[in-house]
Amino acid sequence: MNRRDWLKRGSAVGALTLLGGQTIASTLTEKEIQMFNPRPLTNPAQLNFNENPFGPSARVRKAMTEAFDRGCRYPSSYLDQLIDKIARKEGVTPDHIVIGGGSTEGLKVTGLTYANNGGEIIAARPTFLAMLNYAKQWGGTINWVDLDDTLTHDVDEMEKRITSKTKLIFLCNPNNPTSTLLEKNKLIDFVSSASKKTIVFSDEAYYDFIEEKNYPSMISMVKKGENVIVSRTFSKVYGLAGLRIGYLIAKPEIANRLRRNVVANTNVLAIQAAITAMDDNEFYEFSLKKVKEGKQLMYQTMDQMNLEYLKSNTNFIFFKTGRDIGTFNRQMLQEGVKVGRPFPPYTDWCRISMGTIEEVQMFNKALKKVLG
């Protein structure tokens, strides 16, 4: 069933039927389906990549369609408009912004720039590995620091590890896969101190999902001229993962150095999609609302089953299965749900991404059958 057929079916009969005859009631109105573009239900449901199950929005799809005629042009002709818009949003000048093909490229570029030929990166374990794996390919070394007892970055230990060999400290905050968030004063103190000794990279891919009021972005440190790099993405809350566009924010001398190593860049349609998405507040708020609803449904099920989990500051939940993750993954796949890969050393924990409410219902049903 393609997306158009699924949309028609969902709006016409108010229910979605999967392979095997399982029927799940649709929770969206016809208008919401048209505006927010939920992905169609599949068997298995893919809840393993932390993707937004909605988008691109109707506004973004229209903007991309209108940009088709620019497909013969190189993206550099249109990049300044996006850079200026991001700079205004973040409160910096355009020379602070580096655009890449998703924030993953920004992570890899940074790893290459600072850790090639033996440079050391201090990083948590487990965390998002894009920068770290790429840096190792270029001769970098990783100084792993295990998470603390709350499965949060142990920044005290990280600071103790800083030596003359340390070229960069990588913080994924909120962390992937644990969804944990550093206490804000501890974060500020650590970044203020560590950035005087080395570069601090703050991966804020999930920043929009933080519910704590006035939680600081480390862009504030960039504005002070500190040795800090912040990454942001259009893949998560904006629902543009397939278009590959993200950005880094750093003081101009750092940004210039990073910009020279950008390879993939992005494309004309992604640029127009990002420009439009930044103004589509209705889709932005809808995405956040649905993530909250999905998490509450999963929390309720996990509470009923007495499963240990971490309250999430992201669009996924990290929970304890009590069994080997490889075995659990296979069992969940048999019930029609793909869940996250292993994250050593937490091999009896699982990362589950938020989906549509219908996909969340599928997960809850499968979880009860596998672990019930």
- pLDDT, mean of residues 318-322: 98
Helix and strand numbers (H, E) in the chain are 14, 13
Q: Over the stretch 279-289, which tens digit does the pLDDT of each residue have?
A: 999 999 999 99
Percent of the chain past pLDDT 70, that is, above it, reads: 93
pLDDT at 342 over 50: yes
Burial letters 36-73, b for 16+ CB under 10 A, else e? bbbbbbeebbebbebbbbbbbbbbbeebbeebeebeee
CA 142 to chain centroid: 22
Q: Of 168, 222, 180, 203, nearest to 318 (Cα)?
A: 180
What average pLDDT does the structure give for the chain? 93
Q: Could you give the CA distance from residue 77 to residue 70 in angstroms, rounded to a whole number?
A: 10
Asked if 63 and 260 count as a contact pair (C-beta separation under 8 A), the reply is no
The residue with greater pLDDT, 29 or 2, is 29
- pLDDT, mean of residues 343-353: 97
Contacts of 56 (CB under 8 A, 6+ apart): 37, 64, 239, 240, 243, 273, 277
Q: Extract the tokens encoding 255.
A: 């940004």
Instruction: List, by residue range, all CATH 3.40.640.10 domains of the chain.
Output: 60-277
Q: Of 144, 198, 157, 206, nearest to 181 (Cα)?
A: 206
pLDDT at 16 over 90: no
pTM of structure: 0.93
What φ, ψ does residue 80 adopt, rounded to 5°?
-60, -35
Range of weakest confidence among 229-238, 263-272, 310-319? 263-272
Q: Could you give the CA distance from residue 288 to residue 314 in angstroms, rounded to a whole number?
A: 10
Q: Could you give the CA distance from residue 301 to residue 363 in angstroms, rounded to a whole number?
A: 10
CATH for 3-59+281-371 (3.30.70.1280, 3.90.1150.10, 3.40.50.720, 3.20.20.210)? 3.90.1150.10
Q: How many CB atoms lie within 10 A of CB 249?
A: 28
Fold of 60-277: Aspartate Aminotransferase; domain 2 (3.40.640)
Q: How many CB atoms lie within 10 A of CB 323?
A: 14
DSSP string, 151-208: SS--HHHHHHH--TTEEEEEEESS-TTT-----HHHHHHHHHHHTTTSEEEEE-TTGG
Q: Could you give the CA distance from residue 323 to residue 339 in angstroms, rounded to a whole number?
A: 14
Burial letters 207-244, b for 16+ CB under 10 A, else e? bbbbeeeebebbbebbbeebbbbbbbbbbbbbbbbebb
Q: What is the pLDDT of residue 18?
A: 52
Q: Of 361, 326, 330, 329, nearest to 344 (Cα)?
A: 326
Q: What is the pLDDT of residue 143?
A: 98
Instruction: List, by residue range, all CATH 3.90.1150.10 domains of the chain.
Output: 3-59+281-371
Asked if 22 and 337 count as a contact pair (C-beta separation under 8 A), the reply is no
Q: Could you give the CA distance from residue 21 to residue 65 in angstroms, rounded to a whole number?
A: 36
166-172 and 349-353 strand pairing: unpaired
Q: Over the stretch 76-133, which tens digit does the pLDDT of each residue have?
A: 889 999 999 999 999 999 999 999 999 999 999 999 999 998 999 999 999 999 999 9
